Amino acid sequence: MTEKIVRTTSAFDCGGRCPLRFHVTDGEIKRVEGDDSADADGQLRACLRCRSIRGYVYNPERVKYPLKRTGPKGSGKFERISWDEALDTVANKLTEVNEKYGNQSLLFVAGGGYFGSFHFPQLAYQRLLNTAFGGFSTTYGNISSQGAIFGTQASYGFGEIFVGNSREDWLNSKLIILWGFDPARMIAGTNTLYWLIKAKENGSKVIVIDPRYTDTAVPVADQWIPIIPGTDTAMMAAMAYVILKENLHDQGFLDKYTHGFDKYKDYVMGDEDGTPKTPEWAEKICGVPAETITNLAREYATTKPAALEDAQGPARSCMGGQYNRGAITLTAMTGNIGKPGGSACGGLQGIPYGHMFRSVAIPPGRNTAHPKGKSLRGNINPRDRLGTMVHVNKVFDAILHGKKGGYPFDAKFAMFVQCNFVNQIGNTNKSRKAMQREDLFTVVPEVWLNATAQYADIVLPVTTFAERSDLTRPWPSGPYYTHMNKAVEPPGECKDDIEIAELLAERLGLEKFNREDVLNQFLEAMPHMKEHVEKYEHVNDKWLRLLTGMGEDLQAFVTDNDAYDKYRNDSVHRLDLSEPFIAFKKNIDDIENNPFPTPSGKIEIYSDQIASWNNPLCPPVAKYIPTWENRDDPLYEKYPLQFLSFHPRHSVHSELQKVEWLQEIGLHRLWINPADAGPRGIRNGETVLAFNHRGTLSVPAFVTRRIMTGVVAMPEGAWYAPDKDGIDRGGCANTLTKDEMSEGGAAALKTCLVEVKPENDGC
Ligand SMILES: Nc1nc2c(c(=O)[nH]1)N[C@H]1C(S)=C(S)[C@@H](COP(=O)(O)OP(=O)(O)OC[C@H]3O[C@@H](n4cnc5c(=O)[nH]c(N)nc54)[C@H](O)[C@@H]3O)O[C@H]1N2
Ligand SMILES: Nc1nc2c(c(=O)[nH]1)N[C@H]1C(S)=C(S)[C@@H](COP(=O)(O)OP(=O)(O)OC[C@H]3O[C@@H](n4cnc5c(=O)[nH]c(N)nc54)[C@H](O)[C@@H]3O)O[C@H]1N2
Ligand code: SF4
Ligand SMILES: [Mo]
């Protein structure tokens, strides 16, 4: 019997990044333990998901061999084929489509299934398509965070992506407001909940503003303020009204550090449109009593320092980034930005430490097939996109309707990588229809035969993080770095994506594409690294040695082999910051020498750039604007419940849904208030149908006061499983959601109206 402990971490898009100890006996992971390398304050504690990882790595439903479709698309009928046949088929199809229709008909779509620097699957395939065909069609807009990115970049400029303070800085906060932020479930950086509880023990008051009484509210909230989804900006404006009326704002801060506050003031006080944004005005919109809004405004403005924490979830909606822009405005009004115990808001909490993606090499060429294909960096206007790109939440509409529907391409070949987008983006029934198009050839490298792979012509089996060595980054928050170590051999014939891309490259006649050749090119330019790299036998290990030293904070490892080996064995390297990291401290301490990277050099409460778009649905200051599928929509009469889908506590989106231990923890249910359930004859635990004009799903009801009236909610990620009548028996949230974006480019997955009824009406 051979026994070893392998230290590693996952590469999931899971909200955390936790050191793991895999006990491996005779080549099998038998047991999983968490971090043991620091005291309680420094420990990075693993959550229930990686602790159950045996159910993922050894799941009998994993794809282990290349598969070819044998039945109609979506029928689930596949047969095992050889790698040679699979790769030949894919390479031939790529060549054929490119020759017949041009590279714009090659559609490449990627999501967040795996975050590693070296194995980063999407870069491997993008490099392939760029090198072989000079480009391809793809998506723009981050399915996850575009609302928050819009809000942050419009206000703070195109500098840092992450705009949070170190978590332990909450010990300096007297008041913490969690506005749509639920880290007990979505982690938000390993140990976020730990520091929140510490702050609470330290005397901070915690207020939760969320339509649900969240998992975080349970242990830490002093007060829960339920709010009607999509109306946060109205409540924020009313808080601003109170703060201004009572002269509680920090005018000195606003004058010195912000641009265009007067325009926001005109909106709030009613000078612009004749409607003062009073708490009474907001009460009618948000359902929060005027007195509660007034008290919160006073408390927030007079308790110093105070941390208002917004998130990405509420911004994943049809008014998207306005919510983050509103939160940034409030934190500026109270002078809490750049200060210990305060916060910067913007929804992208986390501190700027961690590996960025480099993969085997930077992909050469453009990522789009249009000659003027435009980079998205530094441009937040979702309508200003050249090239063959479509918004990510509209990709299936683009497949379905193509150029005739006004899209820039007709897809004939599609590759979906590290994403399960049939399941994970809006309007699954439409996605299904698009994927059923017979003239679309689809390839999916996957771990699972999931909703997306079900429609593929070829499915390629890939390795999981347990079968790879790699470098990862902490999901926003740190400061530490992680090195993953391969624990076990891949099952069946699973391959790394890098290898799959290389094997395809061979078939496409590409030279010098493989990692050995690219490594040698790199080493020619970096001869000082040669001796450190060459002592490793496997080319992957050589690459990891090389990539590690490229990080700014890991310079020590460039030449120190012993230090690097220690990092590799420990799997985690902590940075010793002398004090907690505070977002924008540098700018606030010395704005003259460190202006914000915005056009005005200041925090932009008013954005001239947005104003220039002249889009009444995308205002230059954070306004409340009624839009579609909220309570003011005529559809509300027919579908009078707002539908929210939060991230599953027991899974990473759709990825861990098949792990039985986790199924027992995260019961898949639809939260509904007794006041909504009663009149509809819905009892706790009974199966209900949730439906609208896009689809119907069946799910057991969770009748609970933990959700406000008029709103229902369930976890996203459950596997789409339409029956013969089209009812989704798997309970995939996106059977109900809309495939639309906000005016700022957010995927509007949280904005959705439904009705709910018992499945067995009258029984
Ligand atoms: N367990 C687990 N953790 C995860 C993930 C996972 O799949 N599972 N995924 C990770 C990823 S990729 C991401 S992007 C993050 C996502 O993290 P978030 O985007 O922050 O999480 P969500 O679950 O989408 O929603 C956050 C909260 O917003 C509330 N909410 C919804 N609409 C509104 C609104 O209009 N107003 C207010 N005030 N609140 C609202 C919801 O009730 C929910 O409690 O989580 C990460 N962490
Ligand atoms: N209704 C609703 N929908 C949502 C959200 C919501 O709040 N509500 N949240 C959205 C958010 S924030 C996000 S980030 C998206 C996530 O959307 P996706 O990225 O589609 O989510 P996952 O289910 O994690 O799918 C990732 C897939 O990658 C595969 N994978 C993992 N590792 C590898 C690998 O190394 N190689 C390859 N080739 N494949 C791999 C996994 O098996 C999995 O099937 O979902 C969005 N969808
Ligand atoms: S799923 Fe993410 S947060 Fe949970 S233990 Fe694994 S790495 Fe940590
Ligand atoms: Mo996400």
Q: Are residues 361 and 418 in the same domain?
A: yes
Which pLDDT belongs to residue 552?
74
Cα(208) to centroid(ligand 1), Å = 14
Domain membership flag for residue 339? yes
Which pLDDT belongs to residue 490?
98
Q: Are residues 371 and 308 in the same domain?
A: no
Which pLDDT belongs to residue 707?
98
Which pLDDT belongs to residue 321?
87
Find out whether the beta carbon of 419 lies less than 6 Å from any atom of ligand 2. yes
Virtual torsion, Cα 12, 14, 18, 19, nearest 10 deg: -20
> Which residue among 13, 14, 194 is best mutated to probe the pocket of ligand 3, counting the most ligand atoms within 8 A of its Cβ?
14
Cα(57) to centroid(ligand 3), Å = 15
> Which residue among 213, 647, 714, 751 is best mutated to probe the pocket of ligand 1, counting the most ligand atoms within 8 A of its Cβ?
647
For residue 46, give the 3-state DSSP assignment.
Answer: coil
Sheet with 480-484: strands ordered across: 470-472, 480-484, 572-574
Question: What integer is the mean pLDDT of 55-61?
Answer: 98
Cα(124) to centroid(ligand 3), Å = 24
Cα–Cα distance between 305 and 623 in angstroms, integer? 26
User: pLDDT tens-digit profile of 710-734?
Assistant: 999 999 999 999 999 999 999 999 9
Contact between 280 and 330 (Cβ < 8 Å)? no
Cα–Cα distance between 205 and 207 in angstroms, integer? 7
Q: Are residues 412 and 505 in the same domain?
A: yes
Domain with residue 27: its CATH number is 2.20.25.90
Cα–Cα distance between 571 and 466 in angstroms, integer? 13
Q: Are residues 366 and 499 in the same domain?
A: yes
55 — pLDDT class (breaks 50, 70, 90): very high
| Residue ID of nearest Cα to ligand 1 atom 4 | 186
Find out whether the beta carbon of 450 lies less than 6 Å from any atom of ligand 2. yes
Number of other residues whose CB lies within 10 A of the CB of residue 465: 25
Find out whether the beta carbon of 716 lies less than 6 Å from any atom of ligand 1. no
User: pLDDT tens-digit profile of 508-522?
Assistant: 999 999 999 999 998
Three-state helix/strand/coil letters over 479-524: CEEEEECCCCCCCCCCECHHHHHHHHHHHCCCCCCCHHHHHHHHHH
407 Cβ neighbours under 8 A, 6+ residues apart: 390, 397, 398, 401
* Minimum-distance ligand 1 atom for the alpha carbon of 49: 1
Q: Are residues 507 and 536 in the same domain?
A: no
Which pLDDT belongs to residue 369?
58
Q: Are residues 402 and 505 in the same domain?
A: yes
| Residue ID of nearest Cα to ligand 2 atom 9 | 144
Virtual torsion, Cα 531, 537, 543, 546, nearest 10 deg: -20
365 Cβ neighbours under 8 A, 6+ residues apart: 130, 131, 134, 135
Lowest mean pLDDT among 198-207, 372-381, 465-474, 657-666: 372-381
Cα(48) to centroid(ligand 3), Å = 8
Cα(479) to centroid(ligand 3), Å = 16
* Minimum-distance ligand 2 atom for the alpha carbon of 734: 1
Tokens matching residue 561:
């082999």
Averaged confidence pLDDT in the chain? 94
Find out whether the beta carbon of 428 lies less than 6 Å from any atom of ligand 2. no
* Minimum-distance ligand 1 atom for the alpha carbon of 347: 20
Does 307 score more than 50 pLDDT?
Answer: yes
Find out whether the beta carbon of 733 lies less than 6 Å from any atom of ligand 2. yes
The set of long-range contacts for 191-198, using a CB threshold of 8 Å and a minimum separation of 24, is 191/43, 191/44, 191/45, 191/167, 191/477, 192/167, 192/477, 193/219, 194/45, 194/167, 195/167, 195/168, 195/170, 195/171, 196/167, 196/170, 196/220, 198/168, 198/170, 198/171
CA atoms within 13 A on the CB side of 42: 12
Find out whether the beta carbon of 317 lies less than 6 Å from any atom of ligand 2. no
Rounded (5°) CA angle 499-501-504? 110
Does 176 score more than 80 pLDDT?
Answer: yes
Cα(662) to centroid(ligand 3), Å = 13
Cα–Cα distance between 7 and 92 in angstroms, integer? 41
Which pLDDT belongs to residue 366?
57
Cα(239) to centroid(ligand 2), Å = 36
Which pLDDT belongs to residue 763?
45
Domain membership flag for residue 603? yes
Cα–Cα distance between 445 and 110 in angstroms, integer? 11
Q: Are residues 178 and 326 in the same domain?
A: yes
Ligand with smallest separation from the Cα of 716: 2
Cα–Cα distance between 715 and 697 in angstroms, integer? 13
User: pLDDT tens-digit profile of 107-141?
Assistant: 999 998 999 989 999 989 999 998 999 889 999 88
Domain membership flag for residue 617? no
388 — pLDDT class (breaks 50, 70, 90): confident
DSSP secondary structure code for residue 62 in this structure: S
* Minimum-distance ligand 1 atom for the alpha carbon of 144: 14
Which pLDDT belongs to residue 549?
77
> Which residue among 186, 348, 737 is best mutated to probe the pocket of ligand 1, counting the most ligand atoms within 8 A of its Cβ?
186
Cα(536) to centroid(ligand 4), Å = 35
744 Cβ neighbours under 8 A, 6+ residues apart: 146, 147, 150, 151, 154, 320, 321, 322, 380, 382, 618
Q: Are residues 362 and 405 in the same domain?
A: yes
Domain membership flag for residue 389? yes
Does 591 score more than 90 pLDDT?
Answer: yes
Does 367 score more than 80 pLDDT?
Answer: no
The answer to whether the Cα torsion of 182, 186, 187, 188 is positive or negative is negative
514 Cβ neighbours under 8 A, 6+ residues apart: 502, 505
Does 605 score more than 60 pLDDT?
Answer: yes
Question: What integer is the mean pLDDT of 436-459?
Answer: 98
Lowest mean pLDDT among 95-104, 345-354, 690-699: 345-354
Find out whether the beta carbon of 648 lies less than 6 Å from any atom of ligand 1. yes
Cα–Cα distance between 563 and 559 in angstroms, integer? 9
Tally of domains within the chain: 5
> Which residue among 190, 472, 483 is best mutated to probe the pocket of ligand 3, counting the most ligand atoms within 8 A of its Cβ?
190
363 — pLDDT class (breaks 50, 70, 90): low
Question: What integer is the mean pLDDT of 340-363?
Answer: 80
Provide the residue range defining the domain that includes 556.
526-570
Q: Are residues 268 and 156 in the same domain?
A: yes
Question: For a pLDDT cut of 90, what percent of the chain falls above it?
Answer: 86
* Minimum-distance ligand 1 atom for the alpha carbon of 311: 20
For residue 387, give the 3-state DSSP assignment.
Answer: coil
Does 146 score more than 60 pLDDT?
Answer: yes
378 — pLDDT class (breaks 50, 70, 90): low
Find out whether the beta carbon of 645 lies less than 6 Å from any atom of ligand 2. yes
Find out whether the beta carbon of 112 lies less than 6 Å from any atom of ligand 1. yes
Domain with residue 88: its CATH number is 3.40.50.740
Which pLDDT belongs to residue 353?
79
Question: What integer is the mean pLDDT of 623-628?
Answer: 94
Cα–Cα distance between 720 and 398 in angstroms, integer? 21
Report the chain's terminal Cα–Cα distance, integer Å.
58
Domain with residue 752: its CATH number is 2.40.40.20
Cα(515) to centroid(ligand 2), Å = 27
Ligand with smallest separation from the Cα of 188: 1
Does 376 score more than 70 pLDDT?
Answer: no
Cα(46) to centroid(ligand 3), Å = 5
DSSP 187-215: -SSTTHHHHHHHHHHTT-EEEEESSB--T
377 — pLDDT class (breaks 50, 70, 90): low
Cα(424) to centroid(ligand 2), Å = 7
Cα(392) to centroid(ligand 1), Å = 19
Ligand with smallest separation from the Cα of 10: 3
- Per the DSSP assignment, residues forming a β-bridge with 441 are 413
Q: Are residues 97 and 166 in the same domain?
A: no
Virtual torsion, Cα 188, 193, 198, 199, nearest 10 deg: 50
159 — pLDDT class (breaks 50, 70, 90): confident
Domain membership flag for residue 519? no
Q: Amino acid identity of 169?
A: D
Domain with residue 309: its CATH number is 3.40.228.10
* Minimum-distance ligand 3 atom for the alpha carbon of 53: 6
Q: Are residues 95 and 157 in the same domain?
A: no
Domain membership flag for residue 93? yes
Number of other residues whose CB lies within 10 A of the CB of residue 751: 26
| Residue ID of nearest Cα to ligand 1 atom 24 | 313
Residue the block writes with tokens 């790199």: 522
Cα(13) to centroid(ligand 4), Å = 7
Does 647 score more than 70 pLDDT?
Answer: yes
Angle between helices 146-156 and 322-333 (to 10 degrees): 40
Cα–Cα distance between 221 and 231 in angstroms, integer? 21
> Which residue among 21, 47, 659 is best mutated to probe the pocket of ligand 3, counting the most ligand atoms within 8 A of its Cβ?
47
616 Cβ neighbours under 8 A, 6+ residues apart: 625
Ligand with smallest separation from the Cα of 49: 3
Which pLDDT belongs to residue 350?
87
Domain membership flag for residue 481? no
The helix or strand, by DSSP H or E, that contains position 4, with its residue range, turns out to be: strand 3-8
- The residue length of the chain stands at 763
Does 360 score more than 90 pLDDT?
Answer: no
Q: Are residues 344 and 452 in the same domain?
A: no
The helix or strand, by DSSP H or E, that contains position 258, with its residue range, turns out to be: strand 258-259
Cα(647) to centroid(ligand 4), Å = 9
Find out whether the beta carbon of 354 lies less than 6 Å from any atom of ligand 1. no
Find out whether the beta carbon of 10 lies less than 6 Å from any atom of ligand 3. yes
Cα(357) to centroid(ligand 3), Å = 19
Domain membership flag for residue 230? yes
Cα–Cα distance between 276 and 237 in angstroms, integer? 9
Question: What integer is the mean pLDDT of 422-447?
Answer: 98
